[in-house]
Structure 1
Amino acid sequence: MPEGNTLTTFGGRVRFFRDRAGMSRAVFGELCGRSGDWAKAIEIGKIGMPGLNMLIRMAGILRVDDLAELTGEQRLTTATYGKNTHDQASVIVRTLAAYPLAVSDREPVSADTLAANVAQAWMVWHGSPNQRTAVATILPRLLDDARTSVRLLESVDRRRALSSLAQIYHLVQLYLSFQPYPELILMTGDRAMQAAQDADDPKAIAAASWYLNHVWRDAGEQAEARIDLADQAGRLLRPENAEDRSLWGLLQLAMALSHAKIGRRGDAERHWDGARRTAQSLDGHHPWLMFGLGMVDAYAVTMAADLTNGHEATKQGDRIDLTAIPSKTRRAFHTVEIARGFYLRKEPLATVHLLNRAYGISPDTVAFNLFTRSAVSELMTTGGATVRDEARDLAHKIRLVPTA
């Protein structure tokens, strides 16, 4: 690889190889599933080194055989890009792999009881600061009950049980998120959609579309498909019904986030406006999806960060009241997103301070968040003395480094 001052940074190396390939920023960004502005932000150092999957994708696009030529002296460590694993994950994985084939000697759980149990599980998820631990003990039984009941119940009761099963798969997807089980996360999203369709329930289909949108967006894949899916699911809903209207707004938010992820600011803002108008017409939040005005406003921070506009992200963060969102995991997640805005602005002290605040709200959410793990790993060595101390303290808490 040629030497030169421009090649001392990750962004400089990306620019060198992009120029060598005769590729514009717009084309490179599009091939990466992002935008030309994203490519520029990478090259000028406004965005740091992305995750391993994106690095591999970039290397293929730029025809770089040795990944080290892109990463330079920055080592790819499991501390930087590794995913945390919950203590009970193996139990959940085994339950997903098991099928209730012998049910002739069992009694089904009634559709009413199943729905009540699922509602209680959502309350546990949103109300606990350590939500994975809280739901790990109840998910296996919920899965077993729902899948057995779907086989034994008939007619309307079976369709209601299928709708509950779809929600259980959503909970499993949330439990497995940011753990090293990408194929299972995709599988739970697909199973949830299948259950929702079998139930012939537009509300369940809308919710499944929201969660599939997350799966594809986090993987950086299927941009047009996930936008189209959300649009189609929204057309199944009846706007005169309050719950349907809430779900329609949620799907507008899904489309806004998808557009922002690939750099389409105008489309992102248009759909976000639709989501916000819908949220303003509702009283409170959806009981388990948490759609409401607070959630919509908080996602404006994520959109700005995905559009690499750190100043806009932090400005939006100053405007929102996270206490209005009745979910510890959501409040913690959105606090992390505000921290991401300050990280884009290269303000490490504010970044690590907000990450610690998020940890105080929900340790579980922060410990499994990939941005947190990457940022803390970096700030332990590159920040000032105060930043390094706070980052190291948080690193021990989230098991990024062993406790002495």
Structure 2
Amino acid sequence: MPSDATPDPYAHPIAFGQRLKILRTRRGMTRAQLGGLVGDRTASWVRALEEGRLQTPKLETVLRMAEVLRLPDLSALVGNSSVPVSLFAGPGHARLGAVKDAINAYPLTMRREAPTTAHIQARLARAWTARHSAPNHRDVIGALLPDLIRDAQLAVRQADRAADRRAAQSALSEVYSLSQFFVAYQPDAPLLWRIAERGMIAAQESEDPHAIGVASWLTAQAHRDSGPGHYDAADKVTADALEFLTPLLPDASDHVLAITGALIFEAGYTAARRRETGTAWRRWDQARAMALRLPGDYYHPITSFSRAIMGAHAVTVAVELRAGGESVRQAAASDATAIPSRPRRARHRIEEARGYQLDGQPDVALDTLDRAHQAAPETIKYNGYAKAIVLEHVESKVPARRRRASELAFTLGLLTA
């Protein structure tokens, strides 16, 4: 390796502090940003860790660092680890390979006739319904996606008229949206980005405002979840999409109103990640106003945006702002049973658990994670926040808490007998 090359943080025996500095730098994060996100620590504290003047922190702090740095595995930060944990990317779903093969293929031949766009849209509607209702939603949509991807790609290729091609591109964009939900938190970041970019291109080609809004929403999420160095890009995507959609709102359908509301909240989510309290809550208020323009029983099939979801969104804002007491108050005011989607309900339970954890109520946090598992086991299995909470309490000095956390850890596959 050249002398001026960046060291590999996974090479042994690089010290913890060196690994931390390399991984932080790669994420585009300052010491002050990392320290603040870990738990109101200072930049000098992070520097002391990186320079080896402080010992490796306790497990709970290391877990939080790995969470903030969006590391695929705890060992990336600590080297050889006695706890085999994948924080944000599990071992990969059994159907990931088949989905990836379909995404990577290009239908250049015309040996069979593509299904009609209406047929593809009907299959998509059934797939979204299955995603929201099945506890093993990744398994269900993972089985449907390969054929959907191939058929939607083929429909675009075989469309002769401009209107038919735009309709086919809209359907293809939605197929990519469904694919992005499946690939999220899987161990293949390049695949996620490939899907997001293709979804945006297909949406733009379709000229469909709803498709463009959904693709923008998912692209902004991909940027936001890539770390602080990508927050500006997330904000730019949401701002551009809102500028495009806003003039259309007076005569917009419920779906366009909903995706606009989802994008407004997305801007608030990123603001909360930045710890911009005023902006985050202002955006939540604006999103709630948009939700109130929707029918009371309306529920967006892709983003889950609705009146019912705003309580869950309030919990997320409070948690991302690291406000434990406010998180608990918002959790008490929200109604998880009003969320019809099982994976979205499970995600809300995880956010509630994060709030209870922040508020110093670990036993309630574990109970809430158990309810998340009951709602949708595959959601909690691939969620890094849930894993970090569970693993922290595996080492608890309180026997009952340690036992409960260990049971959850075994259930989630984080620990083996």
Shorter-chain TM-score range? 0.7 to 0.9
Name whichever of 132-141 and 390-399 sits farther off.
390-399
Question: Which aligned pairs between 1:3-402 and structure 2 lie closer than 5 A?
Answer: 31=30, 34=33, 37-38=36-37, 41-42=40-41, 48-49=61-62, 50-52=64-66, 54=68, 75=81, 77-79=83-85, 81=87, 83-84=89-90, 85-102=92-109, 104-154=110-160, 155-220=162-227, 221-237=229-245, 238-240=248-250, 241=252, 242-283=254-295, 284-382=298-396, 384-402=398-416
Q: 2:136, 2:94 → 1: CA distance?
A: 12
| Partner residue in 1 for 2:25 | none
Amino acid at match of 1:245: L
**Identity over aligned residues, as a percent?**
30
Q: CA deviation at 1:56?
A: 9.6
Provide the C-alpha distance between the structure 2 equivalents of 1:80 and 1:385, rounded to a whole number of angstroms. 25
- Equivalents in 1 of 2:357, 2:142: separation in Å? 33
1:26-48 residue CA offsets vs partner (Å, 9 max, x unmatched): xxx97269488546524699x83
CA contact (8 A) 1:356 1:394 kept: yes
Q: Distance in 1 between matches of 2:69 and 2:217?
A: 27
Structure 2 runs not aligned, ≥5 long: 1-15, 22-27, 46-56
Runs (4 or more) in structure 1 with deviation over 6 Å come to none
Hey, what's the Cα distance between the residues in 2 that align with 1:122 and 1:268? 29
- Contact 1:189-1:208 at 8 Å conserved across structures: yes
What's the RMSD between the two structures over aligned residues?
2.8
**Which one-letter code corresponds to 2:249 in the other structure?**
P
| Paired letter, 2:122 | A
Q: Deviation of residue 180 (structure 1)?
A: 0.9
Residue-by-residue CA offset, 1:130-158 (whole Å, 9 max, x unaligned): 10011111100000000011100132121
**Aligned CA distance change for structure 1 residues 32 and 232 (closer, same or farther; 3 Å):** farther
Moved more, 238-247 or 146-155: 238-247
Is contact 1:35–1:262 with CA below 8 Å preserved after alignment?
no
Letter in 2 for 1:120: R
Q: State the Cα distance separating 1:53 from its structure 2 match.
A: 7.8
Matched residue pairs, number? 366
How far apart, in 2, do the equivalents of 1:127 and 1:33 lie? Answer: 42
Q: Which runs of 5+ in 1 are unaligned?
A: 1-12, 19-28, 58-65
Instruction: Please list the CA deviations of residues 270-290 of structure 1 after superposition, one character each: whole Å capped at 9, or x if unmatched.
Output: 111100011012112223321
Q: What is the distance in 1 between the residues matched to 2:325 and 2:276? A: 18
| Deviations, residues 244-299 of structure 1 (Å, cap 9, x unaligned) | 22221111011000111111111111111100011012112223321112212201
CA contact (8 A) 1:169 1:192 kept: yes
TM-score w.r.t. the length of structure 2 is 0.81
Amino acid at match of 1:31: T
Specify whether residues 56 and 389 from structure 1 end up closer, same or farther in structure 2 by C-alpha distance, changes over 3 A only: closer
